[in-house]
Chain A
Amino acid sequence: EGQLVESGGGLVQPGGSLRLSCSVSGFSFSRYGMHWVRQAPGKGLELVSSIRSNGDRTYYADAVKGRFTISRDDSKNTLYLQMSGLRVEDTAVYYCVKDEDPAVLSAVFGYWGQGTLVTVSS
Protein backbone atom coordinates (compact mmCIF):
# COMPACT_ATOMS: atom_id res chain seq x y z
CA GLU A 1 0.00 0.00 0.00
CA GLY A 2 2.89 2.36 0.66
CA GLN A 3 3.06 5.51 2.68
CA LEU A 4 1.45 8.89 2.14
CA VAL A 5 2.67 11.80 4.26
CA GLU A 6 0.88 15.15 4.05
CA SER A 7 2.40 18.46 5.06
CA GLY A 8 1.76 22.15 4.66
CA GLY A 9 -1.32 22.60 6.81
CA GLY A 10 -1.67 25.31 9.40
CA LEU A 11 -3.51 28.45 10.42
CA VAL A 12 -4.30 30.98 7.70
CA GLN A 13 -6.50 34.05 7.53
CA PRO A 14 -9.55 34.18 5.29
CA GLY A 15 -8.48 35.05 1.77
CA GLY A 16 -5.04 33.58 2.30
CA SER A 17 -3.20 30.77 0.53
CA LEU A 18 -1.55 27.49 1.43
CA ARG A 19 0.10 24.70 -0.50
CA LEU A 20 -0.34 21.17 0.74
CA SER A 21 2.12 18.45 -0.21
CA CYS A 22 1.83 14.69 -0.07
CA SER A 23 5.06 12.72 -0.20
CA VAL A 24 4.58 9.19 -1.43
CA SER A 25 6.70 6.07 -0.99
CA GLY A 26 6.33 2.31 -1.22
CA PHE A 27 4.43 2.11 -4.49
CA SER A 28 4.76 3.28 -8.05
CA PHE A 29 3.30 6.78 -7.68
CA SER A 30 3.25 7.53 -11.40
CA ARG A 31 0.85 4.65 -12.07
CA TYR A 32 -1.92 5.84 -9.80
CA GLY A 33 -4.51 8.54 -9.85
CA MET A 34 -4.64 10.55 -6.65
CA HIS A 35 -7.16 12.54 -4.66
CA TRP A 36 -7.53 15.06 -1.89
CA VAL A 37 -10.43 14.37 0.48
CA ARG A 38 -11.25 16.64 3.40
CA GLN A 39 -13.11 16.29 6.67
CA ALA A 40 -14.30 19.30 8.61
CA PRO A 41 -14.03 18.93 12.41
CA GLY A 42 -16.61 16.43 13.62
CA LYS A 43 -18.11 16.13 10.16
CA GLY A 44 -18.17 13.72 7.24
CA LEU A 45 -15.99 13.25 4.18
CA GLU A 46 -15.86 15.39 1.05
CA LEU A 47 -13.89 14.81 -2.15
CA VAL A 48 -12.00 18.00 -2.96
CA SER A 49 -9.96 17.24 -6.05
CA SER A 50 -8.58 14.41 -8.17
CA ILE A 51 -5.86 13.96 -10.77
CA ARG A 52 -5.25 11.15 -13.25
CA SER A 53 -2.03 9.17 -13.21
CA ASN A 54 -0.52 11.05 -16.16
CA GLY A 55 -1.79 14.39 -14.88
CA ASP A 56 -3.78 15.12 -18.02
CA ARG A 57 -7.14 15.42 -16.31
CA THR A 58 -8.10 17.06 -13.06
CA TYR A 59 -11.41 17.34 -11.23
CA TYR A 60 -12.67 19.67 -8.53
CA ALA A 61 -15.61 19.91 -6.19
CA ASP A 62 -17.84 22.88 -6.97
CA ALA A 63 -17.01 24.33 -3.55
CA VAL A 64 -13.33 24.77 -4.46
CA LYS A 65 -13.41 25.22 -8.24
CA GLY A 66 -11.40 28.25 -9.31
CA ARG A 67 -9.65 28.50 -5.94
CA PHE A 68 -7.77 25.20 -5.58
CA THR A 69 -5.32 23.56 -8.01
CA ILE A 70 -4.17 19.95 -7.83
CA SER A 71 -0.88 18.90 -9.40
CA ARG A 72 1.72 16.17 -9.20
CA ASP A 73 5.46 15.80 -9.70
CA ASP A 74 6.21 12.18 -10.48
CA SER A 75 9.96 12.83 -10.36
CA LYS A 76 9.53 13.78 -6.70
CA ASN A 77 6.76 11.28 -5.89
CA THR A 78 4.73 14.20 -4.59
CA LEU A 79 1.13 15.36 -4.90
CA TYR A 80 0.19 18.99 -4.30
CA LEU A 81 -2.89 21.04 -3.55
CA GLN A 82 -2.51 24.79 -4.03
CA MET A 83 -5.26 26.55 -2.12
CA SER A 84 -6.06 30.23 -2.51
CA GLY A 85 -8.96 32.46 -1.53
CA LEU A 86 -9.37 30.35 1.58
CA ARG A 87 -12.66 30.57 3.47
CA VAL A 88 -13.64 29.67 7.01
CA GLU A 89 -15.62 26.75 5.59
CA ASP A 90 -12.42 25.26 4.11
CA THR A 91 -11.28 24.42 7.65
CA ALA A 92 -10.72 20.67 7.69
CA VAL A 93 -8.27 17.82 7.82
CA TYR A 94 -7.07 17.26 4.27
CA TYR A 95 -6.22 13.68 3.34
CA CYS A 96 -4.06 12.59 0.45
CA VAL A 97 -5.59 9.43 -1.04
CA LYS A 98 -4.36 6.85 -3.52
CA ASP A 99 -6.90 5.53 -5.99
CA GLU A 100 -7.56 1.81 -5.71
CA ASP A 101 -7.26 1.12 -9.44
CA PRO A 102 -3.93 1.57 -11.26
CA ALA A 103 -5.66 1.39 -14.64
CA VAL A 104 -8.23 4.17 -14.31
CA LEU A 105 -9.16 6.98 -11.94
CA SER A 106 -11.93 5.03 -10.29
CA ALA A 107 -12.79 7.17 -7.24
CA VAL A 108 -12.43 4.15 -5.01
CA PHE A 109 -10.27 5.60 -2.26
CA GLY A 110 -7.84 2.79 -1.65
CA TYR A 111 -5.26 4.16 0.76
CA TRP A 112 -5.20 7.31 2.88
CA GLY A 113 -2.51 9.42 4.45
CA GLN A 114 -2.90 10.60 8.04
CA GLY A 115 -4.01 14.05 6.99
CA THR A 116 -2.97 17.63 7.62
CA LEU A 117 -5.15 20.19 9.40
CA VAL A 118 -5.99 23.45 7.67
CA THR A 119 -7.58 26.10 9.86
CA VAL A 120 -8.95 29.24 8.26
CA SER A 121 -9.64 31.88 10.86
CA SER A 122 -9.02 35.52 11.61
Chain B
Amino acid sequence: EIVLTQSPATLSLSPGERATLSCRASQSVGTFLAWYQQKPGQAPRLLIYDASDRATGIPARFSGSGSGTDFTLTISSLEPEDFAVYYCQQRVNWPPVVTFGGGTKVEIK
Protein backbone atom coordinates (compact mmCIF):
# COMPACT_ATOMS: atom_id res chain seq x y z
CA GLU B 1 0.00 0.00 0.00
CA ILE B 2 1.26 3.45 -0.89
CA VAL B 3 1.49 5.71 2.13
CA LEU B 4 1.16 9.48 1.79
CA THR B 5 2.92 11.53 4.46
CA GLN B 6 1.93 15.17 4.78
CA SER B 7 4.08 17.76 6.49
CA PRO B 8 3.98 19.73 8.58
CA ALA B 9 1.03 18.51 10.60
CA THR B 10 0.21 22.11 11.48
CA LEU B 11 1.29 25.31 9.76
CA SER B 12 0.81 28.56 11.64
CA LEU B 13 0.79 31.58 9.36
CA SER B 14 -0.71 35.04 9.04
CA PRO B 15 -3.04 36.28 6.30
CA GLY B 16 -1.03 37.43 3.32
CA GLU B 17 1.80 34.97 3.93
CA ARG B 18 2.79 32.17 1.60
CA ALA B 19 1.90 28.60 2.59
CA THR B 20 3.88 25.61 1.38
CA LEU B 21 2.44 22.17 2.14
CA SER B 22 4.24 18.91 1.41
CA CYS B 23 2.96 15.45 0.49
CA ARG B 24 5.44 12.61 0.14
CA ALA B 25 4.53 9.19 -1.28
CA SER B 26 6.20 5.95 -0.18
CA GLN B 27 6.58 5.02 -3.87
CA SER B 28 6.03 6.80 -7.14
CA VAL B 29 2.51 7.90 -7.98
CA GLY B 30 3.46 9.68 -11.21
CA THR B 31 1.25 12.77 -11.29
CA PHE B 32 -1.85 10.96 -10.01
CA LEU B 33 -2.13 13.23 -7.02
CA ALA B 34 -4.93 15.53 -5.88
CA TRP B 35 -5.35 18.09 -3.10
CA TYR B 36 -8.50 18.82 -1.11
CA GLN B 37 -9.45 21.55 1.35
CA GLN B 38 -11.73 20.92 4.31
CA LYS B 39 -13.07 23.61 6.59
CA PRO B 40 -14.55 22.75 10.01
CA GLY B 41 -17.98 21.20 9.72
CA GLN B 42 -17.84 21.16 5.94
CA ALA B 43 -17.22 18.60 3.24
CA PRO B 44 -13.88 18.51 1.46
CA ARG B 45 -13.45 20.47 -1.77
CA LEU B 46 -11.27 19.51 -4.69
CA LEU B 47 -8.51 22.05 -5.30
CA ILE B 48 -5.91 20.40 -7.54
CA TYR B 49 -5.85 17.17 -9.56
CA ASP B 50 -3.15 15.44 -11.57
CA ALA B 51 -0.58 17.24 -9.40
CA SER B 52 -0.95 20.68 -10.94
CA ASP B 53 -4.37 21.18 -12.59
CA ARG B 54 -6.66 23.53 -10.73
CA ALA B 55 -10.26 22.40 -10.39
CA THR B 56 -13.06 24.58 -11.70
CA GLY B 57 -13.52 27.77 -9.73
CA ILE B 58 -10.37 27.43 -7.65
CA PRO B 59 -8.49 30.73 -7.28
CA ALA B 60 -5.12 31.14 -8.93
CA ARG B 61 -3.39 31.60 -5.56
CA PHE B 62 -3.60 27.81 -5.18
CA SER B 63 -1.00 25.89 -7.17
CA GLY B 64 0.30 22.35 -7.15
CA SER B 65 3.60 20.93 -8.26
CA GLY B 66 5.65 17.76 -8.18
CA SER B 67 5.78 14.26 -9.61
CA GLY B 68 6.89 10.84 -8.51
CA THR B 69 7.10 10.91 -4.74
CA ASP B 70 7.30 14.59 -3.76
CA PHE B 71 4.46 17.06 -4.15
CA THR B 72 3.75 20.59 -2.98
CA LEU B 73 0.61 22.66 -2.57
CA THR B 74 1.35 26.36 -2.49
CA ILE B 75 -1.02 29.10 -1.44
CA SER B 76 0.69 32.25 -2.65
CA SER B 77 -0.98 34.70 -0.27
CA LEU B 78 -3.27 33.38 2.43
CA GLU B 79 -6.80 34.74 2.57
CA PRO B 80 -8.86 34.42 5.79
CA GLU B 81 -11.00 31.71 4.18
CA ASP B 82 -7.93 29.55 3.41
CA PHE B 83 -7.39 28.49 7.01
CA ALA B 84 -8.44 24.86 6.90
CA VAL B 85 -7.16 21.29 6.72
CA TYR B 86 -5.62 20.14 3.45
CA TYR B 87 -5.44 16.52 2.30
CA CYS B 88 -3.51 14.94 -0.55
CA GLN B 89 -4.77 11.78 -2.31
CA GLN B 90 -3.18 9.39 -4.79
CA ARG B 91 -4.85 7.11 -7.36
CA VAL B 92 -1.96 5.48 -9.22
CA ASN B 93 -3.29 1.98 -8.46
CA TRP B 94 -6.92 2.85 -9.11
CA PRO B 95 -8.98 0.78 -9.40
CA PRO B 96 -9.44 -0.23 -6.72
CA VAL B 97 -7.01 1.53 -4.41
CA VAL B 98 -6.70 5.16 -3.49
CA THR B 99 -5.11 6.57 -0.37
CA PHE B 100 -5.27 9.88 1.42
CA GLY B 101 -2.63 11.63 3.45
CA GLY B 102 -3.20 12.45 7.09
CA GLY B 103 -3.73 16.16 6.46
CA THR B 104 -2.05 19.48 7.19
CA LYS B 105 -3.88 22.05 9.25
CA VAL B 106 -3.22 25.65 8.24
CA GLU B 107 -4.05 27.82 11.23
CA ILE B 108 -3.96 31.51 11.92
CA LYS B 109 -0.83 32.61 13.72
Seen from chain A, the residues whose Cβ lies within 8 Å of a Cβ on chain B are 1, 44-47, 50, 57, 59-61, 95, 100, 105-115
Contacts and interface: CB of A to CB of B under 8 A. Distances in A.
Contacts of B87: 44-45
A100 B55 contact: yes
A45 B44 CA distance: 9
B101 interface: yes
A112 B55 contact: no
A50 B94 CA distance: 11
B100 interface: yes
A109 B88 CA distance: 11
Nearest to A57: B95
A44 B100 CA distance: 8
A57 B96 CA distance: 11
Interface in B67-109: 87, 89, 91, 94-96, 98, 100-103
Interface residues of B, number: 22
A110 B87 CA distance: 14
Contact of B43 (A44, A60, A95, A105): A95
Contacts of A109: 34, 36, 44, 46, 89
Contact of B44 (A47, A105, A112): A112
Residue in B98, B100, B103 whose Cβ sees the most chain A Cβ within 10 Å? B98
A108 B34 contact: yes
Closest 7 CB pairs of A and B: A112-B43, A59-B96, A107-B94, A107-B91, A45-B100, A108-B49, A107-B98
